[in-house]
Structure 1
Amino acid sequence: MARTLVRRKAADSGTRGGLPAGPLSAVLAVALLAALTAAVSWGSTSVPPGEVWGVVARRLSGEAPRPGTDDLIVWQLRVPRALLAALVGAGLGVVGTAVQALVRNPLADPYLLGVSNGASLGAVAAIVLGAGAGGALGLGLSGAAFAGALATFALVWAVARRGGGFAPLRLVLAGVAIGQFLSGFTSFLVLRAGDEQQTHSVLFWLMGSLGGATWQLLAVPAVAVPLALLWLQARARALNALLMGDETAAGLGVDVTRLRRELFTLTSLLTGVLVAVSGAIAFVALMVPHACRLVVGGDHRRLLPVSALFGAVLLVVVDLVCRTAMDTQELPVGVVTSLLGAPALLYLLDRRQENGS
């Protein structure tokens, strides 16, 4: 009876009569494969899809690469970037879903917790003060960003726990306040940038970029994103119960305080990993879970994998647009996601109002 109640409440939190998640996930998986192929094929130098898959097959089989530029363009430059876009998009979809369950708000965003501001401050400090070039801290750009995210996580945790509880409102207010405080320091460092090139690098990174993708950079998100998805999927029923309120969830056997603590830790660390490898990419973590909830409903057993796949497809396509839209320069990813995300979110809000949800 309790499980049925949880399932009904979860369904009511999204749309009524959501589409089956299995067929939709299969469609999204095919779309992701097509988007990855297009992302590797298209660019300033186009490579036929057949040759793309030929290069990938030869590399995976251990065969020696053929001489020419196609192997360099496909395997060394475009494949890592396309895979990083997919991983970051999937991670943002997953972390957005988790944060919205954490604070019981379908329009919440992981950057609301302030962790992205800390990561941004760490990365900007690395650029402006020289730590990214082997300065005193000895951290690379990604390392400095992740260190900033961890420090912010610890600070928000300490402030949110001062009252002895773990209330969503206190957590959000602590994250917003600390995030804005750190954002002020980031702006100060931007003003201190020594030259135009430094300022350009800082602003481009703050708006999100996947241009620094390498095989080495893929390692951490390739482990972190699937593990986070598996962990959340295993706790999907508890997340559904959390939507019903703390007292009801506790009555169903959920340790609400512990679950929120684990969710906050997971979302903070995963957000730090994603921001460290791609910069601050707006709207994806907010828009993707909200859109998927309208399609498949609020049951996290269906919502989590669909959000991961849709986020991956979306960011691969957006990054392709950023690379190819202009001949002379590359657009920051965050610019395109903001331009697409704001109107899309307004449309989704209208849809929710029409549905009475």
Structure 2
Amino acid sequence: MTGVAEARPTGTGVGAAAPTRRHRVPYALVLVLLGVLVAVAATAGIAAGSVAVPAGEVWGIMAHRVHPALADPTWTPVRETIVIDVRLPRVLLCAVVGAGLSVCGTALQALVRNPLADPMLLGVSSGATVGAVLVVVSGLSVFGRFSLSLAAFCGALAALVAVYLLARSGGRMTTVRLVLAGVATAEVLSAVASYLVVTSDDPHAADSALRWMLGGMGGTTWEVLWIPAAAVLAGTAVLLGVCRSLNLLLAGEEAAGALGLDVHRFRAVMFTVVALMIGTMVAVSGAIGFVGLIMPHIVRLLVGADHRRALPAVALLGAAFMILADLAARTLISPEEIPVGILTALVGGPFFLWLMRRRAAS
């Protein structure tokens, strides 16, 4: 069924907010331009900082690390350390988190057939926040430097199970119950996290927990990068493998069921995949909202609603956006750093309101 992606769904589904239109720009060109945007954003993210490094030198340092014969080391060891050990892992984490949140947002908007859906919909981010805040304010370090990530992941998984059980009734799970369960769980867990911060006896720990709740990439190392990177790559591969089923959902639940898709089982599996991706990312970056809401809408305007086209494009756009957002967060009021979650909220909030008004007027 290759034509389903081009169907114009009725009602309030994803397609209602992004009607099918002719592709004016070749898809391959869109991918190339987005890839260039990611490269430019990454170069700027590595070059900018308290110690500025020329863009050519950035590429020279990385080429030299790949193979010494590719570039002559004309830079100082300090600059090489800054590029390789400080800024490069941070930029890569930004790319991973931005791509992952955008891919999850695209999938969720199809799964619940609601263009206002965001990866924070399931309450998984709030669950991860509770786990991480508990570690920060209590000082627990049973697993060393991985204690924070492990606690956040466990919190995300617990939130996922709670939402899943609350949303199921009679062996079935509907979109309305899922949204209500996710919102209610997120509110309760956010209140728990806030309570832990307010009642903390250590002001420094409370401040650290609060900044983590606002989202940020500070202190990223190579050791914590591979886990979210592996989760995002694996999850994106799974979603790419079920693009046909995601496209079927755009035509409506009844149409998808008539074409052989077990909608309820498919949603349950996909919610698990998406929630685990989100939990893994939040464990290392904190709660960052609206990225998964904005990027899918922009990409659908560029390449259409077909997930075979949209998922690769939204991953690239999300990666570039998050790199640039993090760059702005650490340079706007340098030497202080703004939590990147604040900047994404400042951009995403007005976009969300505009989108609601647009849907109300349609």
- What residue in structure 2 maps to residue 123 of structure 1? 132
Greater CA drift, 58-67 or 236-245:
58-67
Q: Which runs of 5+ in 1 are unaligned?
A: none
1:95 aligns with 2:101: no
- What residue in structure 1 maps to residue 258 of structure 2? 251
Q: Which runs of 5+ in 2 are unaligned?
A: none
Q: Deviations over 1:65-89 (max 9, x none)?
A: 8752101110000000000000100
Aligned mates of 1:138, 1:205 — CA distance in 2: 15
**Counterpart residue type for residue 249 of structure 2:** L
**Matches for 1:165-180 after TM superposition, within 5 Å:** 165-180=172-187
1:23 aligns with 2:29: yes
Q: Work out the number of aligned pairs and report it.
A: 352
Going from structure 1 to structure 2, the CA distance change for 1:62 and 1:225 (only over 3 Å counts) comes to: farther
**Matches for 1:61-140 after TM superposition, within 5 Å:** 61=67, 68-131=77-140, 133-134=141-142, 140=147
How far did 1:292 drift? Answer: 1.6
- What residue in structure 1 maps to residue 341 of structure 2? 334
Aligned mates of 2:161, 2:354 — CA distance in 1: 36
How far did 1:164 drift? Answer: 1.1
- Under a length normalisation based on structure 1, what TM-score does the superposition of the two structures give? 0.92
1:32 aligns with 2:41: no
CA contact (8 A) 1:12 1:297 kept: no
- Under a length normalisation based on structure 2, what TM-score does the superposition of the two structures give? 0.91
How far did 1:57 drift? Answer: 1.3
Aligned mates of 2:33, 2:300 — CA distance in 1: 17
Going from structure 1 to structure 2, the CA distance change for 1:347 and 1:185 (only over 3 Å counts) comes to: closer
How far did 1:141 drift? Answer: 0.8
**Counterpart residue type for residue 155 of structure 1:** A
How far did 1:295 drift? Answer: 2.7
Going from structure 1 to structure 2, the CA distance change for 1:351 and 1:8 (only over 3 Å counts) comes to: same
**Counterpart residue type for residue 110 of structure 1:** P
CA contact (8 A) 1:93 1:307 kept: yes
1:271 aligns with 2:271: no
Aligned mates of 1:44, 1:23 — CA distance in 2: 35
Going from structure 1 to structure 2, the CA distance change for 1:349 and 1:28 (only over 3 Å counts) comes to: farther
Aligned mates of 2:316, 2:199 — CA distance in 1: 40
- What SS does the aligned partner of 2:319 have? helix
CA contact (8 A) 1:40 1:79 kept: yes
Work out the percentage of aligned pairs sharing the same amino acid: 46
CA contact (8 A) 1:9 1:240 kept: no
